[in-house]
Each structure stands twice: as C-alpha cells, then as structure tokens.
Structure 1
Amino acid sequence: MSKAVGADGSLLSAATPSLSWISVARHAPYFVDETGSPWTPIGQNDAISWPELNGLFRRRDAESVEKHLLWLKDSGVTCLRLMLEYAQVRHRYFERPAGRYVPSMVQFWDDLFALCERIGLRLLLTPVDTFWTWLHWRWHPWNTANGGPLRSPTEILTCPETRQLIKARLGFAARRWGGSGALFAWDLWNEIHPAQAGDSADNFSEFIHDLSSYVRELETELYGRAHPQTVSVFGPELTWKPHMALHEHIFRHPDLDFATIHIYGSGPIDNPKDTVQPAVLFGQIVRDSLAEIRDNRPFLDSEHGPIHSFKDKKKTLPEAFDDEYFRHIAWAHLASGAAGGGMRWPNRHPHVLTPGMRRAQRAMADFLPLLNWTEFRSRNLNAEITAEGFHAFGCGDAQQALVWLLRGDELAADGRVRTDVSPRSTMVRVPGLADGTYQVTGWNTSDGRAVDQQVASGRNGALEFTLQPIVADRAFAITPLYPKRDPGDDRS
C-alpha cells in the first residue's frame, strides 16, 4: 500500500504492522479487535472534499491531514465514516467515465488508508453518496447522458448494469484496501430508499444479499475472513413508510452483522430549541431500534445532526449550544445501549466538528474502560430506571449497568441546561442486576473524569443508590465489587 507523501516527496509515515481487524463480539452487542479487546466506534462523518481531509487530494497538503488525524486520535476518536465518492462536487467522482477509476481518487484512498494504519484510526466505508448523486444526477458518470448505463437514479437498485458497476467498485476497494485493519466495516449502501427502486422495497433483500455475499466471499477468498457489514437508512423512513418491510431489511437481514440508521428525528434533533429534548428523543429511537433486533447484533447511529436548521434554515447553531447538544446526544446513544456515541454529520459552517465536541469524544473514550464491553449483554433500561427529577438513560445485564442522568427542569434562555442552580439528589433504582455488591462510579461527562464512587447492594433484582448532588448531568458505571482474594489462600 502506498504511503502519504509531503510536498518534497518524503514519506509522512513509515511502514508499520497492520492494524488488527474488528469484528462483532461473540457474547455482546458490541465490537472487539483480534485480541478480543473491546473496540468502540467514536467518531463522525467526514468527506473527501471537506476542509480537514481536502489537503490529501492530489497530495496538496498531506502534512496537515496527518496532523489532523493525529489530533483526532488524541481526542479519543477511533472511527470515521466516509463515502468512497462524495458527489457534492464534480471533481471527486470515483469513476470517470463509468467503470474507469480516477487515479487521483485511488491515490487519495491509498494515502488515507496508509495514514489511518499508522495512526490507528479506522473507517466505516460506504461506496456511493446517494444524497448528492440524486441531487447532482445531471453530472454523474453513471448517467446515460454521460455514457453510463442508468437513465434515472430511480432505477439505481434495479438496473442490472448499474448493479455490476456497484459490485465492481466494492470489489476494487476490497482488493486494494480490504486487507487493512483500518477498514472497520462496510456500509454496503448509504441510505437505501424505495425511491431508488421505483418507490418499492420489494428488491431490498435481494439487493443486500447480492452485495453482501459478493463482498464477503471475495474478502474470504483474498484474506480468509471478512469485515463486518451493514446497510444504512434515513431513519424517519421507518415511520413514514410503515407499509414497507424496511425494519426487516435494516435490523434483521441475515447477511448483515450490525444494524445502523441515520437518526434525523423531526423537530428536536433536526432543528433543536434546547439541548435536552434531542437527547430524550434520541434515547427513545435507540430503544425502539434495539427492540427490532432479534439476534443481539450491535446497533449504532451512523448519521445525525441539526440537518433542518443547517440545510434548510441556513443556520449554524451557536457553538456553546451545539457542543452541549452534541454531548447530550452522544451519551443518550451510548447509555441507551448503542455502540459508541453516534456519528455526527457536522452541519456547521465550516463543515467540521468543534473543539468542544472533540473534548466530549475524549471524555467518552476515557469512560469506556470502566465497563467490560466484551461480556456486556446489555438491554435498554431507559423506561425502567427510576430517578425522580431526571431524564434517565441506561442499559444493563445481570452483572453491570451504564446509567446517564440528565436534568431538564432548569433551562437557560438559550436552551442549555443551567449550571448556576442548586445541585439535586435523588434515589436511583436500576433493575435487572443480580444480588450482590457493586461499585458505582460517577463520571463528569464534560471534564472526562470520575467524580465520585460508592458501594451499593443489589437486592431482589435491582440496585439502589443515593445520587450525590449534581447540577446538570452525570454518567455512572456500575460494576461488580468482588473481595480481594488472599494470595496465600490455596483452598480453591
């Protein structure tokens, strides 16, 4: 694999051992690496033409991209979601003409994979940017007007010739970069939609099976194993089109390894007025999504953000407000039982995440080691946890639990949670834990540090503890507390 080079032609990164591959944990709805250690997707969506990665195109400023990726790593980021082709602009097509891969684009991906290998970042990769492909169809190389096989994007899922182009693109990527552990997983199709198949979902199962089996068989032939796979959907479609079997394809398709949707809930999430209600709605959507899964596969949001306020209202949220909105959504996602903090679509000008959002990602990354994710058979407990005066988000099994509590009774004029009010306490009850003694570690989600610890007992199928007074929010890791065994005790 080629390495990124600087303007003077020198290598930016030396050859390093390959990153370990990621797979689904055997006993939990989360992810692990080859050593069996937990791995959690913390990151966001990025694009090859956005400010922070744009310098790698034609190697115009590769040094700045490397510096940025190193900063992401230091910020706790583990994963970026990217589209192999981002069709918002006309000079980032992966093929031109159809079936001929653009050398400068191939070089971009060679260099990005090399950097991610060295730095230790991974990519959730999807082959087609369906949103801008649809809007800018006039210029797309697959359009018959430009020598391609497809008359309209309304036939993109049903046209046999286009299917071959899609599989060929996936095959090219699998052969060239599929051997790398920097590839976390394939999002085989971005935002699958009935409009892409003549307003029908009848062929979704066959389409997913065809792409999935092709990539899996190819990777297995080449590498003896395959990367995890998913297919994403614009989340509101699940409720807008209840007569179509979208849930079956997204949450339960037998060929897919984990489930993902794009959580763009209308109102609080798309156009937020405060930072509390978006988290409440996010937690409910995660709970509903987990209820659709029958085989304990992981679930995660792979796109969210204030899309309506940014795209339609042309408004960038104030930074302090957006930082809190981002942090609240991330903890609602993780605490409700999804993997990681969700993957924000920036929806800001400039189109990047803020430093405050990066600090929130670091705080979450530092919290993760408090729980044993490889054995965490979590189930959502948002509605079952009792904590009077707080919005409760949580998940747990018989051995451990994760709880996040958020105050919503004291909002400032700008919609943020007030921090100049008296701290509040209450009794917290978490059901489902086996009888025994547990350590309850309170975590400051803003500062990224443990702020209190206490011991609590689980009795009669639930654990109760008194909440130390808090002003705004706090996360809790609840883990078994076993007595230390005397090394000289050989009675076992």
Structure 2
Amino acid sequence: MTGAPPGLPWIEVAAGAPYFQDQTGASWHPVGQNDSIDWPELAPLFRRRDLPAVERHLRWLKANGVTCLRLMLEDARGRHRFLEKPAGRFVPAMVQVWDDLFALCEKVGLYILLTPLDTFWMWMRWKQHPWNVANGGPLATMREALLSAETRVAVKARLDFAISRWGGSGALFAWDLWNEIHPAHARDDASCFGEVIDDLSRHVRMREQELHGRSHLQTVSIYGPELRWKPDQPLQEPIFRHPALDFATIHIYRERSIDDPRNTVAPARAMGEIVRECLAEITDGRPFLDTEHGPIHSFKDRRVTLPEPFDDEYFRHMSWAHLASGGAGGGMRWPNRHPHVLTPGMRVVQRAMTGFLPLIDWRSFRRRNVCVEGAAKGHHLFACGDKRQAIAWLLRARSLAEDGRMRRDVPARPAVLTLPMADGAVQVTEWDTTGGAVVRVSEQAVRDGELRYETTPFVADMALAITATP
C-alpha cells in the first residue's frame, strides 16, 4: 500500500531539449526551494498537529508559481526527526509525515525532489545518529559512508521502503540519490563516485520497475565549490556526465558573493558564470539546475539574516541569472533566514518567473549559453539561445546604491542587445521581472546571423523572450 495514490503526471526529460516535461507532453519547470519537515511551514505535519494549515500553505505556494520542493527524508539536526530509530526500524510518526505530505502534494499539484540522506547533519551530529555503529547502526564513521558495504545495504533498504510506499506517486519529481556527495565520505578519494552512483541508480530503477512499472528521474548533488577546491579529484565526470543520471545538479555557492552578499549584482554574476561553466561540462544535452544556493556564510557563520528588501532583490537576481544562463527553473534557495522560510517578496519573484515561462517553447529549445557571444553595453548580460529562440536578462551595470541594491532614483534608459540567431523575423517580448507583466511585444528582423534590438527604457533590469515567427 502506498502513502499517496497516483494522480499527478510523472515528470520526464523533454525529448531533444535540456528541460523537463510531464508525461502528457506539457512543459514543466522546477520552481521552488529547499524545505524541511522540521521547518516552520511543514512542521505541523509531525503527529498531524495541523494538516489543514499545511494544505493552505501548499496551496499558497502553488498560487505563487511554485512547482517543486526539495526535501530530505529526515532532518538529522536533532533527535526527533530520524526516519529510522534504531537503524532499520522506520519510525511510525515519520512515515505518517511522508504519507500525509505526498497525499497533500498530489491533491494540490506540487512535486518533490527527494534525497534519502541528510549528509550534512549526519556528519555534524554523527554521535547521535541511529546509523552510528555506537548506536547499533552499520557505520563507524561518515568518512566511510560511501565505502562501507553494510551502509550500502542500509541506504538501499531506506530507498526500498520509500519506493514501495511513495514511489508510485507522480508527486515525486526525482531522486537525488546522495545529497552533496563528497570525497570525505570515502576517505578523501572520489574515485568511487561512479561505482556508487551506478549501483544505487540501478537498484532504484529495478525496484521502481518491479513495483510501479516505470522509474522516476535521478540525479546526484555536490557542494559546488568542491569542483574548484579539489581539481585533483575526479568530480566532473560523475556529476555532469554519469550515464545513469537524467539531469545534472550542483549546489551553487561562491565565497564573498553568493555565500555572503554585500550587493545584489555580484551574486548574480557569479551565478551566471557558474551555470555557464556547468553547461560546458555537459556533453549529452541533459538538463542542468541548481538545487541549493543562498547566503550560507552570512547566516550560518556570521549569524546575519539579510534585510528583507535586500534579500528579495538578491533572490530575484539569482533566479533570473540562473534561468537566463541556461538553467532549468530559477534555482532552489536554501532559506538561510530567521525564521527559516522564504519571504513573501520571494514568492512574488517566483510568480513573476512562472508567468514568463510560457513565452518559450521549451520542448524544442536546444539552448546553449551565449553570454560571451552576445552584448548589451552598459549592462550585465545573461543569455542562452538556439537558432530560433533565446532568453536574455539585462541587469544595469554601475548602478548600485549604498545599501547594495540597485538604484531606483536614476533615469530609465534603453539597452541595445545583440545575440547570435538565425536570419529571419523574430518576436521580442519584454518582461518586467518585478511586476511579472509584459512591457512590450515587437517584431524584429535578424540579419547576418545577429539580432540587434533596442529595448524600451528601464531603470534596473529586464528579461526578454525571443522567438522566431513563421
């Protein structure tokens, strides 16, 4: 018996394009954030304290354009949200949490990106975790988590339980088979990553096929800075090109910009650069998306919650930089706030982005990053495109106020955008990323392989959807 009856269409990779669609063929985009069963908005699920409140919250998310939440099967920070206790015994109250959440997501129409292990807090609070051998578990140290045969059995048993109970639900978008896979989980040697991914992937697909006749999408995440910090480790191949995985993801952080922002422009530029670098690593056209970002150093180490107006703009800039640079959706924020939730202003950003998405035919959009090939003098350009379609986001340069946000007291001015495209007629739709509305729709000719377009005047930023006309 499953915890949620099938109902939502399953999500799959679009045929021939690096984006997603549901099984009916409709385009689907991961717009959402990281959440936890122990954070304020979902906490009432535990012991069914207030299921109507959670349903109201999920409906509010849906109304604001959210499609997906990224969640871990347990919250290992404390002692009362372990999925198993002791190892191998699934806690009834936690199973009920997931039964109810899957049922509510099916009812409301939201999807879950699910990862079985909370590896960060397992590492930080290892002494208390049920999988610790000292507590009757299979593992002596997290430094052998990827190497231990007994732990591999335990991971598969946890996945088997989840697959049998919730794997038949369309509300399951995808599996993140190992949250933030790390060389430290294998005594500082990433050479085992490929084998681990292959083994877990085959196990999950086989079990899903046996029980449900099909399988959900799969990925594996990594803490993004490790790709730069550990050039001697074989990290790129398993993360971006492993043949068993359906899409690629990293957690996008960068020191002194994304991690600890002092203005709202540097993080956007870092996001765009990192997405461009990641797309260059992918050789088979699979989708790419960020599944965790945010001001982690500001919040966790400096104990600073960013001022809400600043954080809302930071969030908006990060989201549009991700989408326009070629990522699927707007990236998935880790809240890093007190309280640990996204602000109402961030929901406005998500709603505005969801309004923009139908302007592109994603199932035929074989994009590549064209930030370097394009230009928009006086503006930071984030763009991706193919011969017939393009997305661009323009962010005014050298226009920061003292508080690190974009100035709003300057005259509006147009931008002149150039992008590589096939010759012919195109329709250009200008989009207000703050208000979530069309600014202008116009026809333009592309000549000599280059679109040259002058926008209407704007103060801070503008998004554009460009599509070839018959």
TM-score of the aligned structures, taking structure 1 as reference length: 0.94
SS of aligned partner of 2:191: coil
Are 1:476 and 2:464 matched, yes or no? yes
SS of aligned partner of 2:54: helix
Deviation string, structure 1 residues 343-402 (Cα, Å, up to 9, x no partner):
000000000000000000000001000000011000001111111000000100011100
Residue aligning to 1:485:
none
Q: Tell me the distance in 1 between the aligned counterparts of 2:292 and 2:189.
A: 23
Which of these residues, 130, 136, 140, is aligned with residue 147 of structure 1? Answer: 136
- Measured after TM superposition, the shift of residue 183 of structure 1 is 0.1
Question: 1:1-150, aligned counterparts within 5 Å?
Answer: 18-150=7-139
AA at the equivalent of 1:459: R
Which of these residues, 425, 435, 446, is aligned with residue 447 of structure 1? Answer: 435
SS of aligned partner of 2:52: helix
Unaligned runs of 5+ in 2: none
Question: 1:384-403, aligned counterparts within 5 Å?
Answer: 384-403=373-392
Question: 1:72-471, aligned counterparts within 5 Å?
Answer: 72-431=61-420, 433-471=421-459
Deviation string, structure 1 residues 175-207 (Cα, Å, up to 9, x no partner):
111111000000000000000111111211110
- Measured after TM superposition, the shift of residue 245 of structure 1 is 0.8
CA contact (8 A) 1:2 1:114 kept: no
- Measured after TM superposition, the shift of residue 208 of structure 1 is 0.5
Q: Tell me the distance in 1 between the aligned counterparts of 2:239 and 2:320.
A: 23
CA contact (8 A) 1:408 1:417 kept: no
AA at the equivalent of 2:52: E
Are the structure 2 counterparts of residues 16 and 104 from structure 1 closer, same or farther at C-alpha, using a change threshold of 3 Å?
closer
SS of aligned partner of 2:175: strand
AA at the equivalent of 2:414: S
Aligned residues between the structures: 470
CA contact (8 A) 2:2 2:164 kept: no
Q: Tell me the distance in 1 between the aligned counterparts of 2:221 and 2:232.
A: 19
Q: Tell me the distance in 2 between the aligned counterparts of 1:283 and 1:90.
A: 39
Identity among equivalent positions (%) equals 63
Q: Which runs of 4+ in 1 moved over 3 A?
A: none
Deviation string, structure 1 residues 35-79 (Cα, Å, up to 9, x no partner):
111000000000010000000011011111111000000010000
AA at the equivalent of 1:196: H
SS of aligned partner of 1:166: helix
Are the structure 2 counterparts of residues 315 and 294 from structure 1 closer, same or farther at C-alpha, using a change threshold of 3 Å?
same
Say which is worse superposed, 306-315 or 199-208, in terms of deviation: 199-208
Deviation string, structure 1 residues 74-123 (Cα, Å, up to 9, x no partner):
01000000000110121000000001100111110000000000100000
Deviation string, structure 1 residues 108-164 (Cα, Å, up to 9, x no partner):
000000000010000000000000000000100011110112111111111111110
SS of aligned partner of 1:81: strand
CA contact (8 A) 2:2 2:168 kept: no
CA contact (8 A) 1:123 1:182 kept: yes
Q: Tell me the distance in 1 between the aligned counterparts of 2:129 and 2:291.
A: 25
Q: Tell me the distance in 2 between the aligned counterparts of 1:134 and 1:148.
A: 14
- Measured after TM superposition, the shift of residue 2 of structure 1 is 7.5
SS of aligned partner of 1:450: strand
Say which is worse superposed, 103-112 or 222-231, in terms of deviation: 222-231
- Measured after TM superposition, the shift of residue 420 of structure 1 is 1.2
CA contact (8 A) 2:181 2:222 kept: yes
- Measured after TM superposition, the shift of residue 442 of structure 1 is 0.3
- Measured after TM superposition, the shift of residue 17 of structure 1 is 6.2
- Measured after TM superposition, the shift of residue 481 of structure 1 is 2.0
AA at the equivalent of 2:366: R
TM-score of the aligned structures, taking structure 2 as reference length: 0.99
CA contact (8 A) 2:368 2:384 kept: yes
Q: Tell me the distance in 2 between the aligned counterparts of 1:58 and 1:17.
A: 24
- Measured after TM superposition, the shift of residue 408 of structure 1 is 2.5
- Measured after TM superposition, the shift of residue 426 of structure 1 is 3.0
Residue aligning to 1:9:
none
CA contact (8 A) 1:49 1:86 kept: yes
Q: Tell me the distance in 2 between the aligned counterparts of 1:72 and 1:334.
A: 20
